[in-house]
Amino acid sequence: MAKKPGTKNTSGRGQRDLHVKVKTARGRTTSSTKWLQRQLNDPYVKRAKAEGYRGRAAFKILELDDKYRFLVPGARVVDLGCAPGGWCQVAVQRVNALGDKKNKRIGTVLGVDLQEVEPLAGAEIHQLDFLSEGADDKVKEWLGGDADVVMSDMAASASGHKQTDHLRIISLCEAAAYFAFDVLTPGGTFIAKVLAGGAEGELMKVFKNQFDSVANIKPPSSRSDSSEKFVVARGYRGRPSDNIEGDEEE
**Longest Cα–Cα distance in the chain:** 80
The DSSP 8-state label assigned to residue 8 in this structure reads -
Q: Which residue of the set 193, 205, 218, 229 is catalytic?
A: 193
Q: 85 a known binding residue?
A: yes
Angle at 42 between CA 56 and CA 111, to 5 degrees: 10
Q: 153 a known binding residue?
A: yes
- Strand 211-217 and strand 147-152: the pairing is unpaired
Per the CB < 8 A criterion, the answer to whether 183 and 147 are in contact is yes
Q: 247 a known binding residue?
A: no
| Integer Cα distance of 191 and 210 in angstroms | 13
Q: 142 a known binding residue?
A: no
CA separation, residue 39 to residues 25, 35, 96, 171, 192 (Å): 16, 6, 31, 28, 23
With CA atoms as reference, report the closest residue to 92 among 127, 131, 52, 130: 52
Q: 35 a known binding residue?
A: no
Active site residue 193: yes
Would you name the residues annotated as active-site residues? 193
Residue numbers in the known binding site for S-adenosyl-L-methionine are: 85, 87, 113, 129, 153
Residue numbers in the known binding site are: 85, 87, 113, 129, 153
